[in-house]
Structure 1
Amino acid sequence: MVRPLHAKLTRDLWRIKGQALAIMLVIGIGVALQVMMTGFVASLTQTRDAYYERHQFAQIFAPVARAPEHIAHQLQDIPGVANVQTRLTGMGLIDVESRDIPVSAQILSLPTHELRHLNEIRLTAGRKPDANKAEEIVLLDSFATAHNILPGDQISVTLNGTRRTFDVVGTAQSPEFIYYAAPGEMIPDDERFGVIWIGRPALAAALDLEGAFNQVLMTLLRGAVVEAVLDEVDRVLEPYGSPGAYGLKDHPSDRFLSEEIAGLEISAKNVPPVFMLVAAFLLYIVTSRTIQSEREEIGLMKAFGYTDTEVSIHYLQLVAIIALAGALFGCLLGVVLGRVTVPVYTTYYKLPFLLFRLEPASFASGILTSVGVATLGGAFALRRVFKLTPAAAMRPAAPPDFSKAGQFGAWLMAFLDQPSRMVVRRLVRQPWRMLGAVAGIAAGMALSLSMLIIYEGFDTVLDRTFNVIDRSDATVSFVTNAPVKTLFELDRLRGVTLAKPVRNVAVVLRNGRHEHSGAITGLSPDGQLFRALDSQVRPIRLPDKGIVLSKPLADMLQVGIGDALTIDIREGSQMVVTTQVAGIAESLIGSPAYMNIAALNRLMNEPNRVSGAYIAIEDGAQDSVYAALKGMPMVAGVSLRREAEQAFQEIMNQGAGFSRFIMGFMAFAITFGIIYNVARVAQDERARDLASLRVMGFYRGETAFVLLGELGVVTLVALPVGILLGNSLTALIAAGFSTDLYQIPVVYAPKAYGVAVAVVVAAAFASGWLVWRDLGRADITLALKTRE
């Protein structure tokens, strides 16, 4: 048998179904984001850890120029070290038929034995190379797929100035290359950079490293102090030209993947509560309106013997059902979004597999949080229930006292007709209710505006990086630091209109306890093809002395212009010098440091040396220039600016960048939900008044104007408030999207403001149309009756 209060609950839910659905949408989006983000945190973390463990990914990496093999025994004796493995690594150029320019490749040695080893590769096709056959290699799977190279094919590789033909016997993945990019770049591109594994004897002969190694991989015992081990490794390898050992957290692949996981964790904690608070606010409004309109019903329920607790539970059930339904919808939506987004992450990060893992805790947390917050919002409104006695409740409420409300001037009365005065009178006499509606609409607009500005920020990163900072056509990198005359050879190539030098030097920058391992980029001071920019996007002329830091790097090191900075040079003579910060540059990609190339060479005691060049190419001469570069033995790689821009565009549309589209869609949905809820609450509150106007002879249009005029005024007032809130919210969201790979600026975007305003106005018109439609269907007689 259905209890009377349960029957009433069903009727109430049906009556406010539109508002309930809007609130369910807000709650569902919050829970969906929590389920999706928490699921990806668990999925990426567990997949990464399992991948590392299964393939014995190293914890310490130590490059050297050349060290004898017996040094490995000294490294093994360092306290805390579990395993030591030496290997060979070098750079080469792959001649791919589908490309006009050579493709850079990192070449790594494989042990001659079949036992398990550190950084073990995972074969995806074919087999491992035979250590006794120098012509057999394994290619990185993603590179082979991008160029349609299969086991059994042959490729030409220029290695140490010698061009050779190799047989591809297999393709593989590696935990070392989950995220990878060409040396000196930060943008991964499967087509522009590859990895080759070859037997160690063959690579040793090609690099002239028989009986020696140029990289060490190490794992540690449980409880070992990484910093202490790194210090000892540097001490042992320093005589052999080591630029410095580094731990797993500084490995580029692991760093970017770990930052993605950390960003998702922060978003999972901070984003869903915003939606929950908005839902609690909306539920408070709905519950307050319901209690106010059911004043006499509450009195009757108490008169028939229902206690305050039973009446309160009845209304809390209304809130809980809406919240629970929204949470369940959010759980389902979160699972769907998670599964749909998996291919984005497997494209962005080269993981062998990624199954979206459902975290039971996120479901429980989402449901409990949404129901709890919604109940809290409803509880504030239910305070009135306890104050009503049956006799007082069944009497009509005392008319509100508007004697202290604002009054119209005679001049205003002359310009307003009767419906307009009704609109203004309600706004003036119930300011707090109107402010609540303004706050709700402004919050929805702020979400939409912030996401639109973020979209513009991503576009600004692309434009400023690849059109304003870098104005070259291509970047040429050399096998080793070359004399400046090499630059003249490039400049003399037919089709090359300008060539400017660049030198990259590995360093550790220190300011007290703050330090950063990176590189200094030496540039020509005129900045014709590549330049540093200040905060006003003006070129900075690199001085003869001092260093120019990017703003993210200066913030990291906590230094400003004029401060002293220690530079630990990890190349050549490996000196430690002190210089001053001469300027702060705005950089939207990475955390670079710049110096005048002549000053950098003086610092290195290596005058007139370059590690590459930026070149400008005449239109129509690209093919001839690329062909000439292929035949130059000192060229280690060529990067085209337009290809880097396309690759970066793809990166920003995947991973963390892709989530901006999901959040943007949800922001627009919430904006509509909030405005529709405001319109429906106003309609329900004034149903009796509007019916009275129709009986008094007002036309349907005039009656609708009284209601929709109020919505229009509230929406117009909310627009500037939403713009102010959106500007503040944008800074927070931009900080969340920014990573070590790129920083998203907060830009002035007139288009974003226009679209955000259009979204709010369109949502107001759509909500107004729905209300207009309901007014035409309303039964005037029923609206004038007291609802039972």
Structure 2
Amino acid sequence: MRALDQKLVRDLLHMRGQVLAILLIVACGITAMVTMMSAYDSLKLSQSAYYAEYRFADVFASLKRAPESLAPRLAEIPGVGQVQTRVVVDVTLDVPDLDVPATGRIISIPTTPQPMLNDLFIREGRYIEPNRRDEVLVSEAFAAANNLALGDTIGAVINGRWEELRIVGTALSPEYVYAIRPTDIVPDDRRFGIIWMGREALAAAFDMEGAFNDVALSLSREANLPEVLFQLDQQLERYGGLVAYGQEDQVSNFFLTQEIASLQVTAVFMPTIFLGIAAFLLNIVLSRIISTQRDQIAVLKAFGYSNWDVGTHYFKLVLLITLVGGAIGTGMGLWFGAGITQYYTNFFHFPVLRYEAGTGLIVTAIAFSSGAALLGAFSSVRRAVSLPPAEAMRPEAPPQFRPTLVERWGLQRFFSASGRIILRNLERKPIQGSLSIIGIALAVAILMVGRYMGDAIYYIMDVQFRQAQREDVTLVFNEPRPARARYAIAHLPGVMQAEPFRSVAARLRYEHRTHRTGLTGLEPESDLRHLLDQQLCTISLPPDGVLLTRTLGNMLGVEPGDSLTVEVLEGTRPTLTVEVMGLVDELIGVSAYMDIHALNRLMQEGQTISGAYLAVDSLAINELYDEVKQTPAIAGIAIRQTTIDQFEETIGTSLGVFTTVLVIFACIIAFGVVYNASRIALSERGRELATLRIIGFSRAEIAVILLGEQAILTLLAIPVGIGVGWGLITALVVAYDSELYRFPFFVDRTTYMFATGVVLVAALISGWMIRRQLNHLDLIAVLKTRE
């Protein structure tokens, strides 16, 4: 073994505590990167493969009713490849052992198996038979959530008649990888299911023989999507067509794509922080090592070792630490990645969700960590190789000694000898102290980021589901109903208060920017649905004009006072001009709100409603459910408490797992940073402390000198770390800003306490370990150091 390699091994053994701390930080960064990037690659690959194999449609459109003879004309639109017409209806279901009424979306399929758009993968059972009109396939998630087996029956209100449907198979479709109703926030597999039924049976039940109310298209590669959508809308307008939309706006694909994008953000954001901290620590450690090994560097150069040899020696030290940390992190990342990918099967339903972690990802992760480490070490190594031998053989020039600020102010009498030594060292080595403060501050910041996710989720739940949405139950009709429906709702069992709403599909336009969303009309003095501003104060609905969520306003580029064009996408499809009266702050989705009476006037439709928000007596809730199950006009029911439970189970649980892992990594980083700072201080000041012991200072006094300095640096670092944490959280808020949800800038006081507590505990443990080393300090060996 070469002499420099032997020195490398000795250095690693001597610094084993510091090396282990940095190695774990590197491992955490690589674990985060491999975990998130492999999960991202797996979801992305599974999505593209599933869409291609089962022919996920490129364009979708719904309408009232159109004759089947229209299909050939749709196929003539330039760029259209395949046209598939079908019947799609939402019905109320009575599921065994489920008190709450469920909603089923029944989709027609050919009575004999054949290739089609949005094709089915039958997981269990068989396809429907042509002569059995009651046979259906149900979505796998719905069957599993309700413990439905092959041969079981479910009740359904089909066009006003009660019918029983027999389950002959469970299936998956690329159209419903993420099965969620457009009005929901999170999926509810127990209360919302997809049902596939023979075309003839479904058409006969809803008077759709020879007709359709839904169409899906595939496009050729040279197709112009905006032009296809425009021409499709033109063709369907006379048949009550709603606006056509592309694959990117399809509900399931939209949620799946947003989740994949969030994974990608996380895969870049978190590892960058971890590896940046690791690079920073390596820079500090190497610079301090080099300052204590000046004489060794001089001797090496005097014996003929070149700058390249010396520089390579220290780079080897860095690479060895990062490669070992990278290997550990890669192994942990592959394990975590497989677990997280499997966890996603609870929300995204693929026939096969393959876990993919290619060699390219592993090589990239190792290269990224090594590059960050080498970059962090570069300045220190350059300083080492630039030292001429004669200069390096001399000790570093001592700093210019002068009275400290405390002494110049005459306050030294209030401090003991140990206290004055601490203050002098801090004042005379400001750069080293600042670096230690920055390192510990980064630990505080990453702990805050780790806890922030949980704070944000609970804040969203409190604001959205307890302050804004105060209703117990939301009823949605299968089509808009006249004014008398208001009184029928008020007389349903257990209803204590009912507030109707009107929901209209619309395209909002301002200058060249457009967005398709729902325009919701609310009661002007609503008790059950509040609109809030940034201070969480209730905003009253103006008698005219529209209120937009702030995110939607930003997307359209509008401010209060601007005139907005509203293209209604149902009924007679009028085009309206309304004034933007203000912006409201909602953390989930994007919406537009109006006074329900103003919306009715603009629509010229009387007091029409789309549903109602209800406050319900809990003792009569089951009676209400029984009544709703038998009411054909009600297409869906949403229960606030169920939504809260589902939100906690899906978003809360998934983020909870991620947050727990992140907090564990943050704790490791915190300890690594604090321990490194203390251990380096001991290495630098060993001779000084040994000298103090020789001249009569006790072990306790030299411990106070060393650890007191670290305690001051730690206390100074905490507020700095909180400031850095705010900056990282702000970046995280911006990175996760999407149409689906926005993370608020909200940090609970327990997060500050947690971050501070972990760093202080890490400081205490590090202090205890350093104190043990001080107790065994070899005074003779330390004092043999050459001056």
TM over 0.5: yes
- In structure 2, what residue type is equivalent to 1:618? D
Q: CA–CA distance in 1 between the matches of 2:386 and 2:76? A: 78
* Alpha carbons 1:507, 1:570 under 8 Å: kept: yes
Q: CA deviation at 1:187?
A: 1.6
1:144 has 2:156 as partner = no
Q: CA–CA distance in 2 between the matches of 1:125 and 1:779? A: 73
SS of 1:529's equivalent in the other structure is coil
Q: CA deviation at 1:183?
A: 4.0
Q: CA deviation at 1:696?
A: 2.1
Residues 288-687 of structure 1 correspond to what in structure 2 (within 5 A)? 288-403=287-402, 406=405, 408-409=407-408, 411-653=410-652, 658-687=657-686
Q: CA–CA distance in 2 between the matches of 1:318 and 1:21? A: 13
Q: CA deviation at 1:580?
A: 0.7
Can you list the C-alpha shifts for 1:393-449, whole angstroms capped at 9, x where unaligned?
333333232349646236321111011111111100001110111111111111111
* Alpha carbons 1:30, 1:271 under 8 Å: kept: yes
Q: CA deviation at 1:748?
A: 4.7
Q: CA–CA distance in 2 between the matches of 1:372 and 1:748? A: 33
Provide the identity percentage. 39
- Change in CA separation of 1:453 and 1:266 when aligned onto 2, cut-off 3 Å: closer
Q: CA–CA distance in 2 between the matches of 1:376 and 1:450? A: 25
Q: CA–CA distance in 1 between the matches of 2:535 and 2:285? A: 49
Q: CA deviation at 1:565?
A: 0.7
Aligned position for 2:191 = 192
* Alpha carbons 1:572, 1:604 under 8 Å: kept: no
Bigger shift: residues 621-630 or 582-591: 621-630
SS of 2:218's equivalent in the other structure is strand
- In structure 2, what residue type is equivalent to 1:121? L
Q: CA–CA distance in 1 between the matches of 2:165 and 2:127? A: 14
Can you list the C-alpha shifts for 1:170-192, whole angstroms capped at 9, x where unaligned?
11111111112124223211111
Can you list the C-alpha shifts for 1:123-154, whole angstroms capped at 9, x where unaligned?
11111112332111111110011111111111
Q: CA–CA distance in 2 between the matches of 1:561 and 1:12? A: 66
Q: CA–CA distance in 1 between the matches of 2:41 and 2:453? A: 27
Aligned position for 1:249 = 248
Bigger shift: residues 193-202 or 595-604: 595-604
Residues 259-278 of structure 1 correspond to what in structure 2 (within 5 A)? 259-278=258-277
Aligned position for 1:208 = 207
Residues 45-56 of structure 1 correspond to what in structure 2 (within 5 A)? 45-56=44-55
Can you list the C-alpha shifts for 1:236-278, whole angstroms capped at 9, x where unaligned?
1111111111000000111111112222223333432332222
* Alpha carbons 1:445, 1:671 under 8 Å: kept: yes
* Alpha carbons 1:657, 1:737 under 8 Å: kept: no
* Alpha carbons 2:66, 2:211 under 8 Å: kept: yes
Q: CA–CA distance in 2 between the matches of 1:414 and 1:405? A: 13
1:76 has 2:75 as partner = yes
Bigger shift: residues 510-519 or 142-151: 510-519
Bigger shift: residues 652-661 or 731-740: 652-661
SS of 1:539's equivalent in the other structure is coil
* Alpha carbons 2:295, 2:393 under 8 Å: kept: yes
Aligned position for 2:17 = 18
* Alpha carbons 1:92, 1:107 under 8 Å: kept: yes
Q: CA–CA distance in 2 between the matches of 1:444 and 1:780? A: 34
Can you list the C-alpha shifts for 1:267-323, whole angstroms capped at 9, x where unaligned?
333432332222221111111111111111122222222222212211221111112
Q: CA–CA distance in 2 between the matches of 1:91 and 1:494? A: 23
Can you list the C-alpha shifts for 1:497-534, whole angstroms capped at 9, x where unaligned?
11110121111111122111111111111121112112
Q: CA–CA distance in 2 between the matches of 1:226 and 1:119? A: 19
Q: CA–CA distance in 2 between the matches of 1:327 and 1:739? A: 33
* Alpha carbons 1:511, 1:557 under 8 Å: kept: yes
Aligned position for 1:703 = 702
* Alpha carbons 2:39, 2:340 under 8 Å: kept: no
- In structure 2, what residue type is equivalent to 1:724? G
Q: CA deviation at 1:357?
A: 0.7
* Alpha carbons 2:493, 2:621 under 8 Å: kept: no
Q: CA–CA distance in 1 between the matches of 2:513 and 2:254? A: 18
Q: CA–CA distance in 2 between the matches of 1:647 and 1:627? A: 22
Q: CA deviation at 1:656?
A: 6.2
Q: CA deviation at 1:776?
A: 2.1
Can you list the C-alpha shifts for 1:638-688, whole angstroms capped at 9, x where unaligned?
211100011111221355675333333322321221111111111111122
Q: CA–CA distance in 2 between the matches of 1:689 and 1:166? A: 86
Q: CA–CA distance in 2 between the matches of 1:654 and 1:214? A: 38
Aligned position for 1:718 = 717
Q: CA–CA distance in 1 between the matches of 2:609 and 2:504? A: 10
Aligned position for 1:171 = 170
Can you list the C-alpha shifts for 1:62-102, whole angstroms capped at 9, x where unaligned?
11110110110001011111101100000111102322221
SS of 2:164's equivalent in the other structure is strand
SS of 1:184's equivalent in the other structure is coil
Aligned position for 1:279 = 278
Q: CA–CA distance in 2 between the matches of 1:336 and 1:462? A: 31
> Structure 1-normalised TM-score?
0.97
- In structure 2, what residue type is equivalent to 1:301? L
SS of 1:305's equivalent in the other structure is coil
Over aligned residues, Cα RMSD in angstroms?
A: 1.8
- Change in CA separation of 1:292 and 1:475 when aligned onto 2, cut-off 3 Å: same
Q: List alignment gaps of at least 5 residues for structure 2.
A: none
Q: CA–CA distance in 1 between the matches of 2:269 and 2:101? A: 46
SS of 2:106's equivalent in the other structure is strand
Can you list the C-alpha shifts for 1:6-50, whole angstroms capped at 9, x where unaligned?
111101001111111111122222222222222122211110111
Aligned position for 1:161 = 160
Q: CA–CA distance in 1 between the matches of 2:627 and 2:123? A: 35
Can you list the C-alpha shifts for 1:548-578, whole angstroms capped at 9, x where unaligned?
1111111111111111111110011101111
Q: CA deviation at 1:632?
A: 2.4
* Alpha carbons 1:131, 1:200 under 8 Å: kept: no
SS of 2:278's equivalent in the other structure is helix
- Change in CA separation of 1:397 and 1:748 when aligned onto 2, cut-off 3 Å: closer
Q: CA deviation at 1:104?
A: 0.7
* Alpha carbons 2:524, 2:540 under 8 Å: kept: yes
* Alpha carbons 2:307, 2:386 under 8 Å: kept: no
Q: CA deviation at 1:698?
A: 1.8
* Alpha carbons 2:63, 2:213 under 8 Å: kept: yes
